[in-house]
Amino acid sequence: MESDLIASFCSFYMNNVSDEAIHQFSNIVKTKKFKRGETLIKGEHDNISKFYIIKEGIVASFSRNASEDKEYIRTIHIENYAFTNLYYLDSNLANLDLDVSPSRDYYKCLTDCLLLEGKFSDFLNLIQSNHEICFLYNRINQTLLLQLLKRLDRLSLLDATDRYKLLRLRIPNIENLIPQYQIASYLNITPVQLSRIRKKLYSE
Q: Which residue has the higher pLDDT, 46 or 174?
A: 174
Mean pLDDT of the chain: 87
Q: Which residue has the higher pLDDT, 104 or 62?
A: 62
Residue 122 confidence (pLDDT) above 90: yes
**Which residues, at least 6 apart from 69, have a Cβ–Cβ distance to it below 8 Å?**
none
Which tens digit of pLDDT belongs to each residue from 25-40? 999 999 999 999 999 8
CA gap 82, 55 in Å, rounded: 10
**What is the structure's pLDDT at 87?**
60
Q: Which residue has the higher pLDDT, 112 or 68?
A: 112
CA distances from 74 to 7, 28, 44, 187 (A): 29, 29, 18, 9
CA gap 34, 57 in Å, rounded: 9
Q: Do 80 and 54 touch, CB atoms closer than 8 A?
A: yes
Spans of all domains in the chain: 2-157, 159-204
Mean pLDDT for 67-73 is: 76
28 in helix, strand or coil? coil
Q: Do 191 and 180 touch, CB atoms closer than 8 A?
A: yes
Name the CATH code of domain 2-157 (choices 1.10.287.110, 3.30.1330.80, 2.60.120.10, 3.40.920.10).
2.60.120.10
Q: How confident is the model at residue 68 (pLDDT cuts 50, 70, 90)?
A: low
**Which residues, at least 6 apart from 171, have a Cβ–Cβ distance to it below 8 Å?**
58, 76, 78, 177
Q: Do 82 and 141 touch, CB atoms closer than 8 A?
A: no
Q: Give which of 21, 33, 12 is closest to 3, Cα–Cα.
A: 21
Which tens digit of pLDDT belongs to each residue from 173-195? 999 999 999 999 999 999 999 99
Q: Calculate the dihedral angle through the C-alpha atoms of 181, 183, 187, 189, rounding to the nearest 10 degrees.
A: -20
What percent of the chain is predicted at pLDDT more than 70? 86
Q: How confident is the model at residue 16 (pLDDT cuts 50, 70, 90)?
A: confident
**What is the structure's pLDDT at 196?**
95
Which tens digit of pLDDT belongs to each residue from 77-103? 999 999 887 665 554 444 445 454 555
Paired with 83 in beta bridges are 52
Q: Give which of 12, 28, 10 is closest to 129, Cα–Cα.
A: 28
Q: Do 75 and 60 touch, CB atoms closer than 8 A?
A: yes
